Structure 1
Amino acid sequence: MRLRILLATVTATLAAATSPAAAGTPAAPHACSSTVDIRGFSDALDKTSYEGTFVGNLSALSVDSDKRIVALSDRSSLFTLDPKTLKPTSVVNLADEKGAALDSEGLLVDFPHSRLRSSGGTPTGTRLVSSETEPSVRRYSRDGKLLDRLPVPAPLAVAPAGRATANLTFEGLTLLPGGRTLLASMEGSLSGDTPGIVRFQTWTRQGRHFASAAQYGYRTDTGLGVSETTATPDGRLLVLERGFTAGYGNTVRLYLADLRHATDTRGIDTLTGQGGVRLVRKTLLADLVNCPSLGAQAHQPQPNPLLDNIEGMAVTGAAHGWLNVLLVSDDNQNAGQVTRLYSLRVRLPHPAGH
């Protein structure tokens, strides 16, 4: 299946949830901003189960080499979703070296050798999964076997071993074009760094393994944390910043970030955004509160009923100058929240200086 076919089926499935018959709203694209359209949403997975496993707590998305969508639960479950129906077709449970569950937050399906398949036609991509507990990045086979674990710089460990705060570590995971550089984004700041400045850690591929490499500082909006990062085909990053305020709801903003010219901060103990340190440059693409609601309903106060706790994001392809982007919200297995998939189109501005 070609990638554009995947995009068509995913978009059609999500648009069906917001068709005039289903929601009383037009099925045409709707603008969230001058560069972002929302094509549709689906609550079909909300409060469902598959083979005895709750389908929820979804914190990350990726696309497999057979074009199926892989969705990661932060309760150590890895689902494969059919691109036409968005329903699970398989589930794999993950564990750490001691057999314990993970607080799994970031996901990347890695197929570095031109998306080669096995002789039987089965996709061969391994799964890189980040946990915000230690933090860690582990690599798993398709059937959930733990293969290895990447090195993590000591300061990024949770205190007292390092300077990170529990549950505010590796939330996003992505591979830059070319397949040689892996990037994990911290959700929150290290102790000693200026609040709101978070670190992006990279690794470079060396054979079958990854070695620790450059690190960058990124400034979030006040009160928000980084919930996901996803590479664009031109080497920049889509960054989701998210926050929650009781009685108000969620804030979710989509930024475009550019690592070029940012300072390598791995040898800098304290990040203040001053002293000649160049942080990652970012450009707001859309505040999702400005998206049309498309008839969505919220189970708790929200500034826009379309919004929820959006944590996962994947670029599923490109067409006619637009990126097709899939988002998912984490319902925390909570009756007041929803597992919701969102289909967006994103047009990237030209890089500065081009």
Structure 2
Amino acid sequence: MRVRPVFAAATAVLTVAAGLTVAGPAQARSQADGASRACSPYARIDGFSDGLDKTTFQGTAVGNLSALAVDRDGTVAALSDRSRLFSLDVRKGPTAKPVRVVPLADERGAELDSEALVVDRDGSRLITSETEPSVRRYAPSGKLLGRLPVPGALRVAPAGRGRPNLTFEGLALQPGGRTLVASMEAPLTGDGPDAAGHPLVRFQSWQRHGGGEFRLSRQFAYPVDAGLGVSEATAAGDGRLLVLERGFTPGAGNTVRLYVADLRGASDVSAVPALPGPGPGARPVRKTLVADIGACPSLGATAKQPQRNPLLDNIEGLAVVGRAPGGRLRLLLVSDDNENPKQVTRLYGVTVRLPGA
């Protein structure tokens, strides 16, 4: 969503978070030795980089980045919601370097409001657009290969009950490559909150049998924090999902929280017309807070508009780029600047230990 102020090289990719240090618009800046990087008992901020902010590559603005995914050649695919897919060389951090850019289009040649990204086992790209919403498959060249079915109720009104600009924001491929999950950003019209007042957002899954294409499968109810929306979901590697929740308050700035969510045990709500459903209601997805990114040390970051923590901006993309000792995950996050002079394209390196792991 455009919020306005509105494994050949898995080892190489790991260095993006391990080596990412604080960087301003032009260069990296080191922090004093011994400074705490803890954001929570489960997470620490390793660094950030503003090196991509307001830059161009091959005549294309490098910005509006809404999703990240590790590619098979060790680069990180970075999806712009202006229908562009960049490949970033992150091995020489802290500043990522674009090495390729590929344009994307729908069946009529029109641009997409592209928001979420998965690199499939064969190297093809599964990319969501929140306009319809849709999940399309592309070759690495950008050639359109097909699209997945989407339940009618999730489509934007009047075709369905989806709300404009608030549909498929996250996309996750579970280990083994058989289960795909897309997260809506906000509830459907007619869906209510749970008993605790959490709006219920639908997560749609697809299942693949054998070597075939994905088929529609179960749907889940995810309880998002009041005032926030789901801006990303990605596989945690253990059957759970990492979910980013994000919001913006004029004059106060962004709120960004990272959760781990477990779909196992949650009810299939695909046949429930209005959440939370009759009687005791469907069993929602269980989630546990990993970190409020606003609680991370700022590391000397500056903000172009009011923020509770100047480290924050409109964070939309998230990828697991490697593992640290003890089974911890190295994450790369990115903010979407919306080509707005008051916002920034910023990469973040974060290391997390998953609760319950």
Q: Which runs of 5+ in 1 are unaligned?
A: 112-123
- The answer on 1:103 being equivalent to 2:103 is no
Q: CA RMSD in A?
A: 1.7
Give 1:281 shift: 0.3
Q: Kindly tell me: are residues 11 and 144 of structure 1, through their superposed partners in 2, closer, same or farther at Cα, counting changes over 3 Å?
A: same
1:125 alignment counterpart: 123
2:4 alignment counterpart: none
How far apart are the structure 2 equivalents of 1:44 and 1:151? 38
How far apart are the structure 2 equivalents of 1:319 and 1:23? 21
2:169 alignment counterpart: 171
Give 1:327 shift: 0.2
Give 1:177 shift: 1.1
How far apart are the structure 2 equivalents of 1:326 and 1:29? 19
Q: Kindly tell me: are residues 304 and 209 of structure 1, through their superposed partners in 2, closer, same or farther at Cα, counting changes over 3 Å?
A: same
2:68 partner SS? strand
Question: What is the identity, as a one-letter code, of the residue corresponding to 2:332?
Answer: L
Give 1:61 shift: 0.2
Give 1:23 shift: 5.3
Give the alignment partner of residue 241 of structure 1, picking from 241, 245, 261.
245
- The answer on 1:299 being equivalent to 2:304 is yes
2:204 alignment counterpart: 201
Q: Deviation digits for residues 37-91 of structure 1, max 9, x if unmatched?
A: 0000000000000000000000000001112100000000000000224110000
Give 1:4 shift: 3.1
How far apart are the structure 2 equivalents of 1:90 and 1:21? 23
Query: TM-score scaled to structure 2, two decimals?
Result: 0.91
1:311 partner SS? strand
Question: What is the identity, as a one-letter code, of the residue corresponding to 1:170?
Answer: F
Counting only pairs closer than 5 Å after superposition, residues 1-354 of structure 1 correspond to structure 2 as 2-12=9-19, 14-15=20-21, 17=23, 22=29, 24-26=31-33, 30-85=37-92, 86-111=96-121, 125-195=123-193, 196-206=199-209, 207-272=211-276, 275-320=280-325, 321-350=327-356
Q: Deviation digits for residues 300-345 of structure 1, max 9, x if unmatched?
A: 0000000000000001121222100100000000000000000000
Q: Kindly tell me: are residues 204 and 21 of structure 1, through their superposed partners in 2, closer, same or farther at Cα, counting changes over 3 Å?
A: closer
2:208 partner SS? strand
1:119 alignment counterpart: none
1:117 alignment counterpart: none
Question: What is the identity, as a one-letter code, of the residue corresponding to 1:109?
Answer: V
Q: Deviation digits for residues 18-51 of structure 1, max 9, x if unmatched?
A: 8x98255448661000000000000000000000
2:51 partner SS? coil
Give 1:7 shift: 1.1
Aligned residues: 337
Question: What is the identity, as a one-letter code, of the residue corresponding to 1:316?
Answer: V
Contact 2:66 2:78 in 1 (8 A): yes
2:242 partner SS? strand
Contact 2:12 2:74 in 1 (8 A): no
Contact 1:238 1:257 in 2 (8 A): yes
2:350 partner SS? strand
Contact 1:159 1:165 in 2 (8 A): yes
Give 1:16 shift: 5.4
Q: Which runs of 5+ in 2 are unaligned?
A: 1-7, 194-198
* Identity percentage of aligned residues: 61
Question: What is the identity, as a one-letter code, of the residue corresponding to 1:63?
Answer: V
How far apart are the structure 2 equivalents of 1:35 and 1:73? 30
Question: What is the identity, as a one-letter code, of the residue corresponding to 1:144?
Answer: G
Query: TM-score scaled to structure 1, two decimals?
Result: 0.92
How far apart are the structure 2 equivalents of 1:25 and 1:101? 45
2:14 partner SS? helix
2:12 partner SS? helix
Question: What is the identity, as a one-letter code, of the residue corresponding to 1:312?
Answer: G
2:3 alignment counterpart: none
1:120 alignment counterpart: none
